[in-house]
């Protein structure tokens, strides 16, 4: 992991989409904007960055990096506590920019090479967050601080989401699940860090749980 002074986030690169490529659209509460991703591995990597409180900023397709002497498009850039890291998914599709000569190449940066098998280890977490994210996008503005504190108190110990919802059944089910999103993420991070050193994770740094947003989305769509 490369330690540095606070880093300005790179700019999203316009990717040249070929006819056979996936196009996955979704809203990111953390970035407060729509995202377009081009593979399900990229979607999985985004879910880790989005849900992990260790990440305070990210950018998909930030520019080129050098991997084994080859200039390749990074799949993700993540930042936290003054540290940054570029993520390249191994075995993924070869992406290029509409104007590659105008896209920067980031030299002397830390590049985490992530495989599909590595992402598969956290598939349950990823799948859970892909279900939770639409609730956060659509309902977070309706969750009060008191409601959030009440639900968060249920996660001192590990418990299924259904049990937490049942414990606060006087609260609307959708709002209870929305409030449970950030505590679930913190709990998953604690378990994850027991299995793998922080320096080996594709998401450095730390931040508070995501703040409520006012935009509405029905979740990721692909075509």
Residue 122 has φ and ψ, to the nearest 5°, of -110, 30
d(CA 151, CA 50): 20
Cβ of 128: how many Cβ atoms within 10 Å?
18
Give the helix/strand (H/E) hosting 50: helix 40-51
- pLDDT value for 73: 93
Question: Any bridge partners for residue 25, and if so which?
Answer: 36, 221
Label the pairing between strands 2-3 and 64-67: unpaired
Going from N- to C-terminal start, the domains of the chain cover 2-120
* Segment-wise mean pLDDT, segments of 10 residues, the chain, 223 residues: 51 86 91 93 92 87 91 91 87 84 88 90 83 83 80 69 76 77 56 42 33 35 52
Looking at CATH, the fold of the domain delimited by 2-120 is given as: Trna Endonuclease; Chain: A, domain 1 (3.40.1350)
- pLDDT value for 61: 94
Label each residue of 179-201 as H, E or C: HHHHHHHHHHHHHHHHHCCHHHC
Label the pairing between strands 105-106 and 64-67: parallel
- pLDDT value for 138: 84
Q: Are 38 and 170 in contact (CB under 8 A)?
A: no
């Amino acid at each position: 992991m490369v330690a540095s002074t606070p880093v300005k986030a790179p700019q999203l690169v316009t990717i040249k989409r070929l006819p056979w490529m996936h196009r996955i659209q979704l809203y990111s509460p953390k970035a407060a904007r729509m995202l377009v991703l081009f593979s399900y591995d990229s979607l999985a990597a985004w879910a880790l960055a989005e849900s992990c409180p260790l990440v305070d900023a990210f950018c998909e397709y930030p520019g080129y990096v050098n991997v084994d002497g080859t200039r390749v498009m990074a799949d993700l850039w993540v930042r936290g506590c003054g540290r940054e890291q570029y993520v390249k998914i191994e075995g993924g599709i070869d992406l290029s920019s509409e104007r590659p000569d105008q896209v920067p190449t980031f030299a002397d940066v830390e590049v985490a090479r992530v495989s599909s098998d590595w992402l598969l280890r956290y598939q349950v977490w990823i799948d859970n967050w892909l279900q939770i994210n639409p609730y956060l996008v659509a309902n977070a503005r309706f969750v009060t601080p008191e409601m959030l504190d009440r639900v968060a108190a249920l996660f001192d110990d590990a418990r299924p989401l259904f049990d937490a919802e049942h414990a606060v059944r006087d609260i609307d089910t959708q709002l209870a699940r929305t409030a449970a999103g950030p505590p679930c993420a913190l709990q998953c991070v604690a378990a994850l860090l027991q299995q793998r050193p922080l320096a080996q994770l594709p998401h450095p740094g730390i931040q508070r749980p995501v703040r409520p947003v006012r935009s509405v989305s029905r979740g990721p769509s692909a075509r």
